[in-house]
Structure 1
Amino acid sequence: MLNKKLVKHIDVGLIIVVILLFAISVVMISSATHVTKYGITRQVKMQVIAFSLGVIVVMIMLIIDYNTFSSFAKPIYIGSIILLLCVYVPGLGKAQYGARSWINLGPVDIQPSEIVKIGFILSFAKFLEKRQNRLDTLKELMAVFLYAAPPILLVLKEPDLGNALVFVVIMIGMTFASGLNYKFITRGLLVGAVCTPIAYKFMAPHQKVRIDAYLNPADLSLPGNYQVMQSKIAIGSGKLIGKGLYNGTQNNNNFLPVQESDFIFAVIGEEFGLIGGIIVLALYFIFLYKMIKITKGAKDKYGSLVVVGITSMFAFQIFENIGMTMGVMPVTGVTLPFISYGGSSILTNMVAIGIVLNVGMRRQKINF
């Protein structure tokens, strides 16, 4: 059972923000799936079920001391790699949206890359903790890259460029927080600039097309550009206060692709306007700020690194998803945390929040 003295240190504000984001999710998914025409849709029901299961998962996460995960870092890492490989098992792996990123479990499909994000953060934090303030040689830095490479490459092979980028951002954020020597930062930026055009040559054809589309937004013949144009029309037409719930023209005419998930922010912009968009951004700002505070107040390096990884994950997904709907970022399948439809995404997000709350409430030693 959870100690009452620990409960007093739970960040209630963070919990409230998550609940508000989920409330927005249910309302916007109901609009994106046209409940006024079809009644309560399967997507709305599944989102509520996923969140309800997530609440139970959060409670379990709070009971377990987060340092327990540190003791099982190796099995968690190995299990994560095995889970990613499961998408290639005949009869189990499933291709969807052009990528073999799913596992079919009867009535439900799960996306391993979503779940593995948490496994990677928990195991990578332990790996970095052992090298605290030692990342000042090329040998140590190479060890970091070699540890992070398998999950990143497996996700990229599916191919899922969006989630592969999430893993890269998690790796960079956590490595930087673990005491990376500053001389490697500038060198890393230079190497990244040189390697980017080289990496482009090795990308899958559909990934190259997405990059080409991003660099040439006016060319509507390139996949994704027409959808982004429709998204920008939707957001722009919402003006200050929006057209009202269930009254979005682009939304109701299904001009927005995957509007209940990838482009759900465009639905928010069209139906609730600039004010609605600002409210969502404000909630995310508070959300990230509270996690940064927990990072700084963690009682040990492992807890701090875990929350840094989770914060990096959420920050990039928020920026990428919203930026994508406005043409600022390339089109990927990265979801908007707690708002986009998706059972795997919601459950992963809830596990992450459970761990963050866990670290936060154990920031001080309890005297019994």
Structure 2
Amino acid sequence: MLRGLSWRHFDFWLLGALSALVIFGVAMIRSAVAGNIELTLITPLVTRQIVFAGIGFVAMIVMASIDYHFWSAVNRPLYIIMFMALFLLNVVGGALFGSARWFQTALVNIQPSEFAKIVLILVLAFYFSRHFDEMENPRHILLSFLLTMGLTVWVILQPNLSTSIVMLVLWFALLWIAGVKVKHLLLYGSIGLLVLALSLPILIETEVIEQYQIDRVMTFLFPDPNARYGDKYNIDQALISIGSGGWSGFGYGQGPQVQLRFLKVRWSDFIFAAIGHEFGFVGAVLVIAFIVFIVFRCLRAAWLAQEPFGAFIAYGVAVLIAFQAIVNIGVNLNLMPATGLTLPFVSYGGSSLVSNMLAIGLVESVIMRRNPIEF
């Protein structure tokens, strides 16, 4: 696994951008929870995030040091282990906030669905690279979809609709990257939407899609202008926070929307609004620029990869980070319904942060074993 390892090609630009976002995220979480005894002493979010970041950095370096080809050899056991973890979670997993998404331990709650996204990238990368010249065959498209749904269905049942959408987007994007024609993708997408529309009453009746998920969509489409709580209130406060930040913001730890706690979930789902409030338009754009830079470095790794398996891994990670960031920022700007997806590397969340850093470790592994000639 470590044979021929050379750190000469390690992407330090990628590491630098990642480190800057993680450090800035910790600082913003500190500002977001300042003065809140429950979140600073009883449940010390800042300390936890620092610990998670440390674990993530170690995991990233370990992942980078392992030849990514190793994961092609163990992708089947990985898939089975993740399948069983998600299955057991639905049967005996600990419940938090009314949903069985976490395995509860004495120290932390582990969210397997975050790591399922990484496993899915590896499994699809292996499958698509193995059948790279046959992807117009509907059989391979169907089999790759079944592989995706084998994990996604358990995530849907938790319920965790937002993460399941991320997993389906990964499949769809990698399918396009594998060379499936756009007209065929549009056809498959249309069929999928039709099936979803026809099965929606059953999904609602059986509570596969829960009432709060329906409410989020309805709130987005038909907002109540007089709402004083819930998703509509949270979105309104996010828009007020961003709008009042102006060009340069109120300053770190000085934003009234954040410090007076009008902005809810400001350390996680709405941390982008907190950034816009305290650092203004300039700060928000800089955060977006860092995320775009990280995505670009992932795409660069894909372009320089030795063969399709490595390229698919890097493309998958790029899609994962980009899509989550787009959705989180879109929710903060009221461009889409509330989802619960966090801002990569910035928002509070141990499983999310560690899994994203593992994903970057995979990209580093690909770039360290790249083609010798860069273009």
- Work out whether residues 90 and 154 of structure 2, in 8 Å CA contact, stay in contact via their aligned partners in 1: no
1:213 is the counterpart of 2:215: no
- Deviations, residues 117-154 of structure 1 (Å, cap 9, x unaligned): 11111122112222212121322221121111121111
1:351 to 351, 358, 364: 358
Whether the 8 Å CA contact 1:62–1:354 is kept in 2: the answer is yes
Shift of 1:71: 0.3
Selected match of 2:337 from 330, 336, 343: 330
**Which residue is 1:19 aligned to?**
19
Root-mean-square deviation (CA), in Å?
2.2
Q: Aligned to 2:128, what secondary structure does the other structure show? A: helix
Separation (CA, whole Å) in 1 of partners of 2:39 and 2:81: 40
1:321–1:220 CA distance, 2 compared to 1 (3 A): farther
Tell me the TM-score normalized by structure 2. Answer: 0.91
Counterpart-to-counterpart distance in 1, 2:178 and 2:241:
42
- Alignment of 1:197 onto 2:197: yes
Q: Please tell me whether the aligned partners of residues 2 and 62 of structure 1 are also in contact (alpha carbons under 8 angstroms).
A: no
Give the 5 Å matches for 1:203-242: 203-219=209-225, 221=227, 223-242=230-249
Which one of 37, 47, 58 corresponds to residue 49 of structure 2?
47
Residues 1:135 and 1:220: Cα distance change in structure 2 (over 3 Å): farther
For 1:194 and 1:3, the matched residues in 2 are separated by 50
* Contact in 1 for aligned 2:68/2:366 (Cα 8 Å): yes
Q: How does 1:168-179 map to 2 (within 5 A)?
A: 168-179=168-179
Structure 1 pair 89/37, CA: closer, same or farther in 2 (3 Å)?
closer
Asked if 2 retains the 8 angstrom alpha-carbon contact of 1:31 and 1:245, the reply is yes
Q: Structure 1's 261 and 275: CA in aligned 2 closer, same or farther, altered over 3 A? A: same
Q: Which residue of 1 aligns with 2:299?
A: 292
The aligned counterpart of 1:258 is 265
Q: What TM-score, normalized by structure 1, do the two folds share?
A: 0.93
* Paired residues, number: 364
Identity across matched positions, percent:
32
Is the contact between residue 135 and residue 181 of structure 1 (CA under 8 Å) also seen in structure 2?
no
Question: 5+ unaligned residues in a row in structure 1: which ranges?
Answer: none
Instruction: Look up the equivalent residue of 1:49 and give its one-letter code.
Output: V
Cα pair distance change 1:341/1:144, threshold 3 Å: same
Listed as ranges, the matches of 1:296-311 within 5 Å are 296-311=303-318
Contact 2:39 2:45 in 1 (8 A): no
Contact 2:64 2:363 in 1 (8 A): no
Asked whether the 8 Å contact 1:210–1:223 carries over to 2, the reply is: no
Q: Any idea what SS the aligned residue of 1:212 has?
A: helix
* Residue identity opposite 1:278 in structure 2: V
Cα distance change on mapping 1:199 and 1:316 into 2, 3 Å: farther
How far apart, CA to CA, are the structure 2 residues paired with 1:157 and 1:274?
Answer: 39
**Cross-structure match for 1:85:** 87
Aligned to 1:360: 367
Partner secondary structure for residue 8 of structure 1: helix
Name which of structure 1's ranges 126-135 and 225-234 shifts more when overlaid on structure 2. Answer: 126-135
Question: How far apart are 1:6 and its partner, in Å?
Answer: 2.0
Q: Secondary structure at the match of 1:339?
A: coil
* 1:267 equivalent in alignment to 2:274: yes
Cα distance, 1:302 vs. partner? Answer: 0.5
Pair 1:160 & 2:139 matched:
no
Tell me the amino acid that sits aligned with residue 285 of structure 1.
Answer: V
Match of 2:34 in 1: 34
Amino acid at match of 2:212: H
2:69 corresponds to 1:67:
yes
SS state at 2:312 partner: helix
